[in-house]
Structure formats: structure tokens, C-alpha cells
Amino acid sequence: MEDKEKVLQVMKEAGVPLNAGKVAELSGLDRKVVDKVFAELKKSGEIVSPVRCKWEPANK
């Protein structure tokens, strides 16, 4: 599974907004990898921030 898909899957399964550290913890990915994926997802609009410093998929 691609890192991007894994991050989105973890976020969808959680059902609540998460920060990058929590996504890294739940997915088993390195924090640097999660930060890179978050940057890509933010740029493409695939994740949104309903709460400061926490993110969730744009299309729940």
C-alpha cells in the first residue's frame, strides 16, 4: 500500500481529526514520511483542518 493511501485510510478509520504524530503512531509510518504525505494532501485539498493542527479527509 502506498504511504498516501495508508495515511488516508488511518484518518478515515479514526473518525476524528488527527495530527501528524498520531497518524504516524497509528499507521506505523515514520513521522517524516507522514509529514511529507500531509504536505501533499494539503496541497491537493484531500485533507482539511476543522480544528487547529488536526486534520481529516476532505471527503469523509
Per-residue pLDDT at 9? 96
pLDDT mean across residues, the chain: 95
Residues of the domain holding 44? 3-57
Cα separation, 19 vs 24, whole angstroms: 9
Residues 16-31 pLDDT 10s: 999 999 999 999 999 9
* Tally of domains within the chain: 1
pTM for the predicted model, two decimal places:
0.89
Q: Which residues of 9-48 are buried (b: 16+ CB within 10 A; e: fewer)?
A: ebbeeeeebbbbebbbebbebeeebbebbbeebeeeebbe
Confidence check: pLDDT of 60 > 90: no
Which residue do the cell numbers 469523509 mark? 60
CATH number at residue 30: 1.10.10.10
Q: What percent of the chain has pLDDT over 70?
A: 97
